[in-house]
Structure formats: C-alpha cells, structure tokens
Amino acid sequence: MSHCPSRLLVRVHRAPVLVLLLLVGLIVAAIGVAATLPARSTAPVAVAADPGAALSAQIAQLRGQLDRMPGNAPRWAALGGAYVELARITGDPANYGAAQRALDRSLELQPEGNADALIGLGALKNALHEFGPAKGYAEQAVSLRPSSADAYGVLADALTQLGEADAATVAVQRMLDLRPGVASFTRAAYDLELHGRTDDARTALEMALNAASTADQIAFCRYHLGELAFDTGRLDEAETHYRAGLLADPTHVALRQGQAKALAARGDTDRAVELYREVTEDSPLPGYLIELAELLESAGRTEEAAAAYAVVTDRFRALEAQGVTEYVDAALLAAEHGDPAEAVRLAQLEFGRRQNVLTADVLAWSLHRAGRDAEAIGYADRANALGRRSASLAYHRGMILAALGDTDRAAAALTDALTINPHFSPLHAPRARQALDALTTR
C-alpha cells in the first residue's frame, strides 16, 4: 500500500474490509507525511496585536502595486482573495464588498482564463453562504487549472455545504493529492468527522498542526483539535488545545470562545459570562451571541438573557444589510426563543439552498418546536445519516422521537447524546437528562 495522504479519505460505500485496511494506511500515512514536512519551530512565534494586521499589510502592499499597475488582473484577484481572508479572521463582513469589487475588476481586465479571480469569487460566495454559485465558480476554475489545490478546496467547501457528500470527499481527496498541508488536512478532518470517523479526523488535524508554520495556522489547527475534543466530551484535552493555540495567537477570538465554552461546561458561569462578553465585543458573531444568551438563561439571569437575545436580533439585521443571509442561527434563535413558525420558514429557506447535515438538523428542530414532529423525524434521520457523532444531533433526534411516543429509540438517542458529550450545552444538556429520566422512569 502506498503510504501517502491520498489514503486519508475513504468513500463510505466501499467494503468494510477495505475500510479497515485503509484506516491502517491512514496512520502510516500520517507518520510518513509528518516525516517529510518541516518540523514546527519550538521558538516563540511572533504575534501581531491585531489578528488581521498581516493581511492588512498585504492588502496595503497590493493596493500600492495596483496604483502603479492598475491593469494587473492577477493582482486584483489576489487583493480580492486577501479581503475574503481578512473577513474570515476578523469577522467583519464589510470586507466582502471590497473583495467583490476587486474580483470583479480582475474579471473585467481578464474575462477569459482567469482562474485566480474564479477561485476568489468561489471563496467569497462560500463565505456569503451562496454555495450554488460558489460551486459554479470552483468548477470553472478546476476546468481551467486542474492542478490547483486552491480550486479544489473551494469546490470541496461548496459541495460539503450543499450536502453532496461523496463529491465533496472526492474533491478533498484531489486537494490532498495535489498539496498535502494545513488547508487540505483540515478539510479532510471535517470530511472524516462528518462520516463519524472521529479518531481519523483527529489524526488529520494533528497532521495539519505538524504542517503549520504561522501563528494563524497553528491557532486554527489547535482550535479545531479543541473543538473535536470538546464535542466528544474530552474537556481537559479541549482546554489544553485552546491554551496552546492562544500561546501562538493570543488574539484568536475562536480560541477564547472555546475557553468560555469550557468554563461554562465546568460550571464556572461567572467567568464564562465575562469571557463571552469580551469575545462578543471583539467578534459579535450570532453563534457566539446565542451561546452567551443561553448561558445566561441557564443560570436564571433572565433579564440579562433577554437583553442578549435582543442583541442577536440586531446583529442579524446588521449582517443582512451587509449581504450576509445565513438563516441557520436565525432559525435556531426563533425556534427556541421566538416564533417556531418563523423558525420553520427560515430553516426551509436555508435548506432550499444547501441540503447538508447542519441544515437538515436545524429544519428538523424547527419543525419539532412548531409541533410538526411527523415531518421533523425524516429530516432528523437525514441529519444523522452520514454517521456524525454529535451530541446536538442526537439530542434533537431523541426529543423528536420522544414527542412521537417512540420511547425506546428516544431514550437510546438521548443516552447517546449525553455519552458523546455530557456538557454539550448549558441549556440543553440538562433538558436532555430530564427528558431521559422521564422516559426511563415511566
């Protein structure tokens, strides 16, 4: 067997014995690839005070070059890509408009054969959750530049979000074959996690960490290793990764959010709330704001929770004004703390443009909260079909089954949720335990 990164992924429909052989190949490949990659330096990594400082400097340099050479299409494409990345790091959607203008200018200057602009536009559309157009741009880029790992990365992201799981696996595999590194290993990890292969996903992330050479890359890998550990109930391991990531990049907002989540799981509510407030001030993403509001609600701090939920609503309006129309968090907010019928409408809108695990789960939960459990269970089953080990998915499915009177399967699903991660949510984990107790004491 060839010991190469291409053994990292396995099409889920292959025979079980082949899967087992390829799993062995995965571990060997991890060792073999790690040996060929430059070792991570043990010296301290220089960290900018501003998480977007390096990209801002790159953008300034590109703008200076374009002032001198305004007809340079590749430079305009590079500028657009830098703005998309800056939006990712800072969470500021204002950069999307600048990215669109730069990429459009690149295409105006070079309308034919401009793979760089197409890759940038695909990445931008993925960031804006316009996954159908993102797929189209990526496919055009792949046809022009079939040896581009970046093009396959954009394609893999779009296919994953659209729920085209097998095609996404193929795209990630192609990216791995072309350029094994942080970007391809982390995508492979997510693909493996979606298929329930958590240990393999961890190995892929460790390979990504070994390949990381910048503070941002190290922090990114540590965050996802921490998330994988947290999501599977390994709290000590998660905290270790969050701390290590912050040593590389103390400004990394997602790592601080991870620490806040871990504090909440340990019952240190006051410190968790304090850290969540700092995180949401620096990066007011709806998901973070909802986590803060639900933590306050779980602690009985009703007035503070209501104010926090109002902030989330305002944030959704601000994002929509910037052209970001992402309905998953909005549907969850409406399902739990607003109008369930509106939650169903929003979830259906999102499911209409991408049919993946996440949107199937959100639609299932919204239907459940609206009292439409007979419809909800089909979407809940679909959300669990790939085998992902998720406490939240199992909890939602268990509560839907309980509402349908399917006691045995409901108890099994709720038990699974609490086994996977007993502290998956300060608000919902206690509800899962209460529901399970009610089912098993009948």
37-49 per-position pLDDT tens digit: 333 333 333 344 4
pLDDT, tens digit, for every residue of 108-125?
A: 999 999 999 999 999 999
| Lowest mean pLDDT, pick from 32-46, 57-71, 357-371 | 32-46
112 in a structural domain: yes
> How high is the pLDDT of residue 94?
84
CATH number, residue 83: 1.25.40.10
The answer as to whether 348 is a domain residue is no
Residue 329 lies in a domain: no
Pair 103, 111: CB distance under 8 Å: no
Give a yes or no: residue 86 inside a domain.
yes
Whether residue 38 is contained in a domain is answered as no
Q: How many domains does the chain have?
A: 1
Q: State which residues form the domain around 90.
A: 53-179
CB 317 within 8 A of CB 330: no
Determine, yes or no, domain membership for 74. yes
**Where is average pLDDT lowest: 2-6, 146-150, 320-324, 436-440?**
2-6
Evaluate whether 141 touches 115 at the Cβ level (below 8 Å). yes
**What is the predicted pLDDT for the residue at 50?**
59
Model's pTM, two decimal places? 0.85
- 84 domain-assigned: yes
> Is 157 within a domain?
yes
